[in-house]
Amino acid sequence: MKPIKKHIEEVSNNGIKILLKKFFNLFKECLNFYKKFIFLIKLGLIFAFYEKRNDKIPVKKKILLGCIVWGESYIRKLTEVSFPSYFSKNNIPKLIKEGYEIELIIITEPNDNYKQIFLDILENLLIKNKLSLKDLKIEFIFKEQMNYDNLSSYMICHFEESIKRDSIWFWLCPDILITDGSVTNLVSMIDSNDCCVGTPVFRVKRSEFLREFKNKDNTKENILMLSFKHFFSDIVNSFKTKQSNINNNVSWTTGISIEKSNIGYLATNTLPAVWCAKIIKSDIQYYKKYRANIHDHLWPSKLLIERRLRVVSSSDLCFAVELTEENSIKYPKLNRLGYWHKLRDYPLRYNFENRRNIHSVVMGSFNYHINYDKN
C-alpha cells in the first residue's frame, strides 16, 4: 500500500484524472470485499431463513424423461449405451411395473431414420422386460440446426412440460451410463413437491470402456470395475495416494478428490449434477436468465439455498459415468492454477478452469462413498 504522501504527490502532478482513477480503484476494491465476504454472509442468511412451502404436497407417480440429442456421435452413444442402461431391469421397467406413468420426450433434429431407430431400440428393450411401447409414452420435438448455445432453451422445454404434467423430471443424457437400479433409487429420493436429487458423475475414456462393455452389463459391480480401469485423466489425478505429486493433482478442476478408505473409496465432490427434480417456475426463470452450463455450475447453488437439494451419498444408490472422447482433454495445461494446487484438499476452493461459483463450493462439499475395492 502506498503512503498517503505518495498519493497526494501523484494527484498534484497529474491532476483530476489520477484522482478520479484512484476513487474508481477504491470503489472496485470495496466491491471485491462485498463479493468475497458480505455476499457469503448474505447467502447464509437466505439459507437460514428460507421458508420451504412444498414439504407436505404429495408427489405423483409420474415421470418425464427428458432427452436432448443431436449429431451422429451422441446418437450412437444414446442408442448403444444410455438407452440400454436406463431401460435395464431395475430402472425404468421396474418403475413402470410399480405403476409410474412415464413419458419420454426426445428433442432432436428432424430425421425419420433416427426416429425409427430410437423407436425400434426402445421397443426391443421394453419387450426384453416383458413390456411394450404401449407402456411408455414417447414424444418427439424436432429442432432445426441444434447447437450447444441453445441448450438452455431445450432444457426449459422439458421443464415446462414437466410442470404442465405435474411430473418428476428425469435427465436422460446421451453420453451417460447409469447402473441398474440407480433410476429407481433416485426417484425414490424425491420426497417433496420441489425436491431435486444430485449425484456425482465420473468421466471414463469412451473407447477403452466400451471395448470391454460389449455385454451391456450395467450392474454396479461391472461398471465400477470397468470405471476404475478406464477413468479419464482428471479423475485419475483426483486420487490421493502416497506416491502422487500434489502439484500434478488436478482433482479440484473436476470438483472431486478421492482417497482410499477402510471399505472402498471416499470421494469429496463440490458440485453433484442434478439428475431428477420436481421443477418449479423459478427454475425456469433461472435457466432463462443464465447460460446453458448452469445445469452443472449454477443451478445447484439455487437449490442449496432453497433447501431443495438432496445428494446421493453412495455408489450403492447410484453410480453414473460420462463417456468422454479421448481427444477432448479439457485441461492439457494448468499454468493458470499456480499455487492454488496447494489448496486442493480444502473444501473451500474456487475453480479458475471451469468457473465453478464460489458460493456453490462454500455451501456444498459432499461426501460420496464408492463401494469398491479394486484389490
DSSP state of 150: G
Q: How far apart are CA 342 and CA 247, in angstroms?
A: 7
CB contact at 8 A, 311 and 318: no
For residue 169 the three cell numbers come to 423430471
Alpha-carbon torsion, ordered 72, 223, 209, 245, to 10 deg: 120
Answer whether residue 36 shows pLDDT above 90. Answer: no
Q: By mean pLDDT, which of 12-21, 37-46, 133-142, 249-258 is the weakest?
A: 249-258
The tens digit of pLDDT for each residue in 204-253 reads 998 899 999 877 899 999 999 999 999 988 788 777 766 554 444 444 44
pLDDT computed for residue 40 by the predictor = 62
Q: Is 26 exposed, middle or buried (0-12, 13-18, 19+ CB in 10 A)?
A: exposed
pLDDT computed for residue 289 by the predictor = 79
Q: How far apart are CA 9 and CA 228, in angstroms?
A: 64
Domain boundaries, the chain: 62-237+271-329
Residue 259 β-bridge partners = 240, 266
At the topology level, CATH places domain 62-237+271-329 in Spore Coat Polysaccharide Biosynthesis Protein SpsA; Chain A (3.90.550)
pLDDT-based confidence at residue 57 (cuts at 50, 70, 90): low
Average pLDDT over residues 49-78: 82
- Burial call 330-349: b when 16+ CB within 10 Å, e when fewer: eeeeeeebeeebeebeeeeb
Q: Is 193 helix (H, G, I), strand (E, B) or coil?
A: coil
pLDDT computed for residue 144 by the predictor = 92
pLDDT computed for residue 243 by the predictor = 57
Sign (positive or negative) of CA dihedral 100, 68, 289, 251: positive
pLDDT computed for residue 335 by the predictor = 40
- Burial call 136-160: b when 16+ CB within 10 Å, e when fewer: bebebeebeebeeeebbebbbbbbe
Considering the entire predicted model, what is its pTM? 0.78
Taking each helix axis from N to C end, the angle separating 151-165 and 281-289, rounded to the nearest 10 degrees, works out to 170
For residue 35 the three cell numbers come to 463479493
For residue 311 the three cell numbers come to 445428494
Average pLDDT over residues 116-124: 95
pLDDT computed for residue 151 by the predictor = 86
Q: Is 172 helix (H, G, I), strand (E, B) or coil?
A: coil
pLDDT computed for residue 364 by the predictor = 56
pLDDT computed for residue 346 by the predictor = 32
Which residue has 470485499 as its cell numbers? Answer: 33
Answer whether residue 353 shows pLDDT above 70. Answer: no
